[in-house]
């Protein structure tokens, strides 16, 4: 089956990410207070679902034979070999609290590999785009990851999952890591963490337990900016571990994480 060129897919994904981001921003205005616990959370869930529904409808209208994998469950198998991997709002907790660090993430994959990706951060009007083999950009400006080559100088982002056992395992990596790096950051949106690596806003990012929709677009943005994006011991980046780093610090960071037990699955 032939596919449209990646640039055309990127244009479509960009238009959809902008429309989805505008809807999410508009729905955010309805969340005025955190005074009651359940109602703001419900509003966030409603926004997640409304944004994914919008994306699912638009993708189906434009590309009826493509597959869709979305966090909110509006997934469907396709027949074209091309799959859209969508996180309608990445950084939900930031969204809930009004912290402007969340994004719509759209990756387009052929046989499981991303060929185009868009991450749109509507609060800052920042559009991150990547096309396989063509580099990545922020608002049209070409990205390059940092040239740091000493782990002690590296600012490293990470994230923590929602499950308590997962968090306990993630916490066990920190005593080894903290003394070895400049500092760590927990920004709260994995897709934007990957984009931050691409722009040199951090030197590296790692996280265990990510899902394909957190990863698909942002990993391509980081890779196309020259970052290495892998798992442990040469394995591909996956839910087990995503390590995205400037090439000059990748190996050193990998080795600290491996020695600290990043291999261990908390659910074994
Ligand atoms: C989460 C964010 C967070 C990361 C979590 C993800 P969500 O996605 O990307 O930064 O640490 O692992 O689940 O729930 O906000 O879409
Ligand atoms: Ca997410
Ligand atoms: Ca989400």
- 15 with 138, same domain? yes
Tokens of 125: 């009007």
Q: Dihedrals φ, ψ of 109, to 5°?
A: -120, 140
Is pLDDT of 264 > 90? Answer: no
Is pLDDT of 40 > 80? Answer: no
Last residue in a domain, options 142, 160, 184: 142
Look at residue 257 and give its three-state secondary structure. Answer: helix
C-beta separation of 200 from 146 below 8 A = yes
Is pLDDT of 36 > 70? Answer: no
- 16 with 96, same domain? yes
Question: pLDDT tens digits for 62-85?
Answer: 999 999 999 988 899 999 999 999
Ligand 1 centroid–CA 210 distance in Å is: 7
Nearest CA to ligand 1 atom 16: 90
Is pLDDT of 232 > 90? Answer: yes
- 165 with 108, same domain? no
State whether the beta carbon of 107 lies less than 6 angstroms from ligand 1.
no
State whether the beta carbon of 160 lies less than 6 angstroms from ligand 1.
yes
Question: Is 265 part of a structural domain of the chain?
Answer: no
Query: Looking up tokens 């897709």, which residue turns up?
Result: 191
Look at residue 234 and give its three-state secondary structure. Answer: helix
Ligand 3 centroid–CA 215 distance in Å is: 11
The CA dihedral of 209, 214, 218, 223, to the nearest 10 degrees, is 30
- 156 with 73, same domain? no
Look at residue 55 and give its three-state secondary structure. Answer: helix
Domain range enclosing 204: 151-259
Query: What pLDDT, on the 0 to 100 scale, is given for residue 189?
Result: 98
Query: What pLDDT, on the 0 to 100 scale, is given for residue 44?
Result: 80
Whole-prediction pTM value? 0.96
Question: Is 264 part of a structural domain of the chain?
Answer: no
Mutate to test the pocket of ligand 1, among 188, 192, 214, 218 (most ligand atoms within 8 A of CB): 214
State whether the beta carbon of 212 lies less than 6 angstroms from ligand 1.
no
Ligand 2 centroid–CA 90 distance in Å is: 4
Q: What is the mean pLDDT of residues 21-35?
A: 80
Q: What is the mean pLDDT of residues 209-229?
A: 97
CATH number at 90 reads: 3.30.540.10
- 172 with 109, same domain? no
Q: What is the mean pLDDT of residues 254-261?
A: 96
Share of the chain above pLDDT 70, in %: 95
State whether the beta carbon of 189 lies less than 6 angstroms from ligand 1.
yes
State whether the beta carbon of 118 lies less than 6 angstroms from ligand 1.
no
Q: What is the mean pLDDT of residues 128-144?
A: 98
Question: Is 1 part of a structural domain of the chain?
Answer: no
State whether the beta carbon of 51 lies less than 6 angstroms from ligand 1.
no
Last residue in a domain, options 142, 169, 204: 142
The CA dihedral of 187, 212, 198, 163, to the nearest 10 degrees, is 20
State whether the beta carbon of 66 lies less than 6 angstroms from ligand 1.
no
Q: How many domains would you assign to the chain?
A: 2
Nearest CA to ligand 1 atom 13: 161
Taking Cα atoms as reference points, which of 225, 119, 211 lies closest to residue 161?
211
Query: What pLDDT, on the 0 to 100 scale, is given for residue 32?
Result: 61
Ligand 1 centroid–CA 242 distance in Å is: 13
State whether the beta carbon of 231 lies less than 6 angstroms from ligand 1.
no
Question: pLDDT tens digits for 184-217?
Answer: 999 999 999 999 999 999 999 999 999 999 999 9
Question: pLDDT tens digits for 146-183?
Answer: 999 999 999 999 999 999 999 999 999 999 999 999 99
Is pLDDT of 35 > 70? Answer: no
- 137 with 174, same domain? no
State whether the beta carbon of 188 lies less than 6 angstroms from ligand 1.
yes
Is pLDDT of 1 > 50? Answer: no
From the CA of 167, the nearest ligand is: 1
CA distances from 192 to 28, 65, 118, 168, 212 (A): 19, 29, 11, 24, 14
């Amino acid at each position: 089956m032939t596919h449209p060129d990646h640039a055309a897919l990127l244009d479509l994904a960009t238009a959809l990410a902008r429309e989805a981001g505008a809807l999410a921003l508009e729905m955010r205005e309805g969340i005025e207070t955190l005074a009651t616990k359940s109602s703001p959370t419900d509003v966030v869930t409603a926004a997640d679902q409304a944004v994914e529904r919008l994306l699912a409808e638009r993708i189906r209208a434009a590309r009826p034979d493509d597959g869709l994998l979305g966090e909110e469950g509006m997934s469907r198998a396709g027949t074209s070999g091309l799959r859209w991997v969508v996180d309608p709002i990445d950084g939900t907790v930031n969204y809930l609290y009004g912290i402007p660090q969340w994004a719509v993430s759209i990756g387009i994959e052929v046989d499981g590999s991303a060929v185009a990706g868009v991450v749109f951060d509507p609060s800052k009007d920042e559009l991150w785009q990547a096309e396989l083999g063509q580099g990545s950009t922020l608002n049209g400006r070409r990205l390059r990851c940092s040239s740091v080559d000493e782990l002690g100088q590296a600012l490293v982002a990470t994230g923590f999952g929602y499950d308590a056992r997962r968090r306990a395992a993630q916490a066990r990596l920190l005593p080894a890591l903290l003394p070895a790096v400049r500092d760590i950051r927990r920004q709260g949106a994995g897709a934007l963490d990957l984009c931050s690596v691409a722009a040199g806003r951090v030197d590296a990012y790692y996280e265990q337990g990510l899902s394909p929709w957190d990863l698909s677009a942002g990993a391509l943005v980081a890779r196309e900016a020259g970052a290495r994006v892998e798992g442990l011991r040469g394995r591909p980046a996956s839910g087990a571990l995503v390590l995205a780093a400037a090439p000059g610090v990748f190996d050193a960071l990998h080795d600290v994480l491996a020695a600290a037990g990043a291999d261990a699955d908390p659910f074994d």
